[in-house]
Chains A and B, each alone.
Chain A
Amino acid sequence: MASPSARGAAIDLKSVSKHYGSFIALDKVSLHIEPGEFMTLLGPSGSGKTTTLNVIAGFTEVSSGSLDVGGKSVIGVPAHKRNIGVVFQHYALFPHMTVSRNVAYPLTLRGIANPDRAARVRKALDMVKMADFGHRFPSELSGGQQQRVALARAIVFDPPLLLMDEPLGALDKKLREWLQLEIKRIHRELGTTFVYVTHDQEEALVLSDRIAVFNQGRIEQIGTGRQLYDEPETLFVGKFVGDSTILRGAASTSGNETAIDVAGRKVAAAKRLPDGAKPVMLLRPEKLGLARRGKGGQDRNTLPGRIGEAIYLGSGSKYEVVLADTSKAIVRSTLDAETFAIGDEVDLVFAGSDVKLLADDENADFTLT
Chain B
Amino acid sequence: MATRAIDSRNTVSAVAADDRRRWFRGQAFWLVAPALLLLVICLGLPLAIVTLRSFSEPQWGWQNYAWFFGTPVNLTVLQRTFAISAWVTLVCLIAGYPYAYVMTAVGPKMRLVLILCVLVPFWVSGVVRTLAWVILLQDSGVINSVIRAVGLSPVKLIRTQTGVVIGMAQVLLPFMILPLYSVMKTIDLRLMQAARSLGASPARAFAQVYLPLSLPGVYAGAIIVFILALGFYITPALLGGPRSTMLSTLIQNQVLSLLNWGRGGAMGVVLLIATFVLLALAAPLSRQPHKTGSTR
Contact = CB atoms under 8 A, between A and B. Distances in A.
A186 interface: no
Interface of B is mostly: helix
Contact of B294 (A58, A78, A86, A93): A93
Contact of A90 (B196, B198, B202, B294): B294
B194 A138 contact: no
A59 B3 CA distance: 33
Nearest to A86: B197
B190 A138 contact: no
Contacts of A92: 188, 190-191, 193-194, 294
B6 A142 contact: yes
A92 B190 CA distance: 6
A59 B193 contact: yes
A85 B197 contact: yes
Contacts of B194: 86, 88, 92-94
B235 to A, nearest CB: 37
Given A109-B199, A109-B204, A91 B294 contact: yes
Contacts of B6: 142-143
Contacts of A90: 188, 190, 294-295
B209 A94 contact: yes
Given A90-B294, A139-B291, 10 more contacts: A59-B197, A80-B197, A80-B198, A80-B205, A105-B200, A106-B198, A139-B293, A142-B3, A154-B197, A175-B2
Interface in A232-285: none
Interface in A267-318: none
Given A80-B199, A86-B197, A142 B293 contact: no
Given A59-B193, A92-B194, A138-B293, A106 B2 contact: no
Contacts of A175: 1-2
B98 interface: no
B60 to A, nearest CB: 53
Interface of B: 1-3, 5-6, 188, 190-191, 193-202, 204-205, 208-209, 212-213, 288-296
Contacts of B212: 96
Contacts of B5: 172
Contact of A137 (B1, B213, B293): B293
A57 B201 CA distance: 14
A138 B294 contact: yes
Contacts of B288: 96
Nearest to B212: A96
Instruction: Give the top 7 A-B pairs by smallest Cβ distance, nearest first.
Output: A138-B293, A95-B293, A139-B293, A92-B194, A86-B197, A106-B198, A137-B290
Contacts of A35: none
Contacts of B197: 57-59, 79-80, 82, 84-86, 154
B200 A80 contact: yes
Contacts of B208: 105
A110 interface: yes
Interface string A88-112: 1011111110000000011001100
Most buried by B among A82, A105, A174: A105
A102 to B, nearest CB: 9
B150 to A, nearest CB: 38
8 contacts: A57-B197, A58-B197, A79-B197, A80-B202, A139-B290, A146-B293, A153-B198, A157-B198
Contact of B291 (A95, A105, A146): A95
A134 interface: no
B159 to A, nearest CB: 45
B201 A80 contact: yes
A141 B292 CA distance: 11
A201 interface: no
A80 B198 CA distance: 6
A83 interface: yes
A171 interface: yes
Nearest to A176: B2
A141 B294 CA distance: 10
A180 B99 CA distance: 43
B294 A95 contact: yes
A318 to B, nearest CB: 26
Most buried by A among B5, B197, B200, B205: B197
A65 interface: no
A143 B9 CA distance: 14
Interface in A129-177: 137-144, 146, 153-154, 157, 171-172, 174-175
Nearest to B191: A92
A96 B213 contact: yes
A139 to B, nearest CB: 4
Given A143-B296, A172-B5, A94 B201 contact: no
Contact of A95 (B193, B200, B213): B213
Nearest to A109: B199
Nearest to B193: A59
Given A95-B213, A96-B212, A139 B296 contact: yes
B35 to A, nearest CB: 33
Contacts of A82: 197
Nearest to A59: B193
B205 to A, nearest CB: 8
Contacts of B209: 94
Given A59-B193, A143-B2, A175-B1, A93 B198 contact: no
A79 B204 CA distance: 13
Contacts of B190: 88, 90, 92
A85 B5 CA distance: 30
Nearest to A136: B290
Contacts of B200: 80, 105, 109
A59 B191 CA distance: 13
A57 B195 CA distance: 12
Contacts of A139: 290-293, 296
B179 to A, nearest CB: 18
Nearest to A105: B198
A287 to B, nearest CB: 36
Nearest to A81: B199
